[in-house]
Amino acid sequence: MGVPWYGYDYTCLHLLEPGRCELETFHFRKPTCNFRASRWIPYKAIMRHLPKSISGRYWDNDHKAPYYIYMVLVFDVGGTDWKHYDWSKVTTIAAFGAYNPELLCHAHANDVRVVLKGDVPIKDIIDPANRTAWIIDQVNLAKRQFLDGINLDLEEAVEFKSQGYYALTQLVNETTQIFHREIPGSQVTFDVAWKPGCVDGRCYDYASIAHSCDFIFVMSYDMQSQIWGDCIAKANAPYNQTVAGYYAYLKLGIPSSKIVMGVPWYGYNYPCIYLFEAGKCVIQSIPFRGAPCSDLAGPQVPYKWIMQQLPKSISGRFWDDDQEAPYFIYKVNGTYHEVWYDDPQSISMKASLIKKLNLRGIGMWNGNLLDYDDPSEAMQTKAMWQALYPF
């Protein structure tokens, strides 16, 4: 009797429920579907992946076999911080920094995909020939650098049903088809705003985009990019808004298996024009894409800076029960600053939605924003990685 010491890693077009993962159609010797919709992985890789899973080990009574579901996407912007990542959790690195063959080799040794950043002005891909040429260039680049796919990150404002609206949808569809054909087993993903519609003027065909690619990465942060009410400092990623965003995507008919949650490892440092009380910091009114006020009033600050600044604050850590987020106040040169951010408590609350909604997984912007050098910050850094797995 021969038995396998390997398995198959299937990319689900639709994950209806655990054990019902619909696959891309690959014809092989007449049947319309087969194992070519997957990549072969050895048992040692399976044992490394299982602890990263969002599901844990399932057992199928009909097939008498175990299986699991997983995805943790880390955006890396360069440097050497990747050497300190918790590789027991990572499944994909989106390389937004300079090409680093050392990072690539380390990732592949840990059975982790590395995908390149795809960014192009939408005006440049309206013409079909230009669009195809750009895609071919990206495929060839991925082949030369032995990469495993592409993460499309455009974030450009597009009017509903404009030329750009349709061109963007075609870009995602054609990129997926060409990458899958030229690099079997490759991964094509697309970054979307925290909710569908026209957030920040991004009036995309989200349902069609999600259908075309392997999954969408929901950027559940920068939710104060357009402030329509009182111009005051607020949380980067309020819990209720986060939840509403995912339900809105699901309402479009996008399968939960095609949705990866994005969380922030950074916050905003708002200088207060007036500080009436904690949580009521009036900020400068800076318009953004039609909104009279925005988070442009405060610079983004990495979590490692936040952890260094918090002990120096005049307030200590506050918790906002309405937004389910931490913040603190400090004063410099006579000006009060209110810093809103996410920490293990707020992130784990959001991450718990993954299992509840059967989402594909989680990721963060970005992996370089923690302190990997200071031993005194080691526990805080570890806690941020652990917050991705609250279940």
Tokens 């009797």 belong to: 1
CA–CA separation, 280 and 332 (whole Å)? 18
Residues 6+ apart with CB under 8 A from 36: 26, 28, 184
CA–CA separation, 240 and 322 (whole Å)? 8
Nearest CA-CA partner of 58 in 11, 17, 10, 2:
17
- Catalytic pick from 24, 155, 182, 377? 155
For residue 283, what are its two tokens?
């900020």
Strands 325-332 and 318-320: antiparallel
Residue 30, by phi and psi: left (phi above 0), alpha (psi -120 to 50) or beta? Answer: left
Please say whether the beta carbons of 328 and 267 come within 8 A: no
Q: Which long-range contacts (CB under 8 A, 24 or more apart) does 317-325 make?
A: 318/278, 318/279, 319/345, 320/235, 320/279, 322/238, 322/240, 323/234, 323/235, 323/238, 323/239, 323/240, 324/235, 324/238, 324/239, 324/240, 324/349, 325/235, 325/236, 325/237, 325/238, 325/239
Helix (H, G, I), strand (E, B) or coil at 236: coil
CA–CA separation, 115 and 125 (whole Å)? 21
For residue 179, what are its two tokens?
């990458």
CA–CA separation, 366 and 221 (whole Å)? 12
Which residue type, as a one-letter code, is found at position 31? Answer: P
Has 324 been annotated as catalytic?
no
Please say whether the beta carbons of 261 and 359 come within 8 A: yes
* Residues known to be catalytic: 155
